[in-house]
């Protein structure tokens, strides 16, 4: 069953370099600007992953300008967690951190167990296949939660 789009969504994963930026970019592409969408990581110790950029470019989703940030940096820059309607955690570590940070706020945290494609595959093509699998899992969860992609003009 699909739900109405929330006003704001925060996607989170371990480093804000692979899964959460893909989810952020794809959600913006599918559902437009009606929902405020951001992403964050438990840590910020990596830049956006090149394979994530490549598999999202296949869908005309631009990630190359994404700058990774952590929960701590998000708060330092003035983004208040309580301003989000929904936090979607894409890894166990980010789910724990989100639940820890949101225990004082009335907001929903969902866990979507998305494959971590980093370190999978020996060849470039095998790595791309792993990243496509993670991307496609994100797409399936988005569609399951909010319905088919909208026609964005």
**The pLDDT value given to residue 151:** 64
pTM more than 0.85: yes
Residue 103 located in a structural domain = yes
What is the structure's pLDDT at 54?
Answer: 96
In a domain, 139, yes or no: yes
Total tally of structural domains belonging to the chain: 1
Identify whether 151 is part of a domain: no
153 falls within a domain: no
Give the list of residues 6+ apart from residue 18 with CB closer than 8 angstroms, or none.
49, 51, 52, 116, 117, 118, 131, 134
The Cα–Cα gap between 52 and 145 comes to 22
Query: Residue 1, SS3?
Result: coil
Residue 3 maps to a domain: no
- Whether 50 is in a domain gets the answer yes
Residue 74 inside a domain? The answer is yes
Q: What residues of the chain score a pLDDT lower than 70?
A: 1, 151-153
Q: b/e map of 37-46 (b: 16 or more CB within 10 Å)?
A: bbbbbbbbee
According to the model, what pLDDT value does residue 144 have?
A: 95
- Express each pLDDT in 33-65 by its tens digit: 889 999 999 987 778 889 999 999 999 999 999
Please list, in sequence order, all residues whose beta carbon lies within 8 angstroms of the beta carbon of residue 108, skipping any fewer than 6 positions away.
85, 86, 87
Q: Name the residue range of residue 42's domain.
A: 8-146
Domain assignment present for residue 22? The answer is yes
The dihedral over CA atoms of 59, 63, 68, 71, expressed in degrees to the nearest 10, equals -50
Query: CATH number for the domain including 75?
Result: 3.40.50.2300
Q: Which string of b and e fits 131-147 if b means at least 16 CB within 10 Å?
A: bbebbebbbebbeebbe
């Amino acid at each position: 069953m699909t739900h109405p789009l929330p006003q704001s969504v925060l996607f989170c994963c371990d480093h804000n370099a692979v899964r959460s930026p893909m989810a952020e970019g794809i959600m913006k592409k599918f559902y437009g600007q009606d929902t405020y969408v951001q992403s964050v990581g438990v840590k910020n110790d990596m830049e956006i992953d090149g394979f994530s950029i490549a598999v999202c470019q296949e869908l005309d989703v631009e990630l190359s300008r994404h700058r990774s940030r952590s929960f701590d940096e998000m708060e330092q820059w003035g983004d208040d967690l309580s301003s989000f309607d929904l936090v979607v955690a894409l890894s166990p570590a980010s789910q724990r951190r989100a639940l820890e940070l949101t225990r004082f706020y009335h907001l929903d945290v969902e866990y979507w167990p998305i494959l971590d494609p980093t370190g999978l595959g020996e060849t470039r093509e095998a790595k791309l296949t792993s990243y496509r699998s993670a991307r496609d899992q994100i797409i399936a969860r988005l569609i399951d939660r909010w319905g088919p992609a909208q026609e964005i003009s």
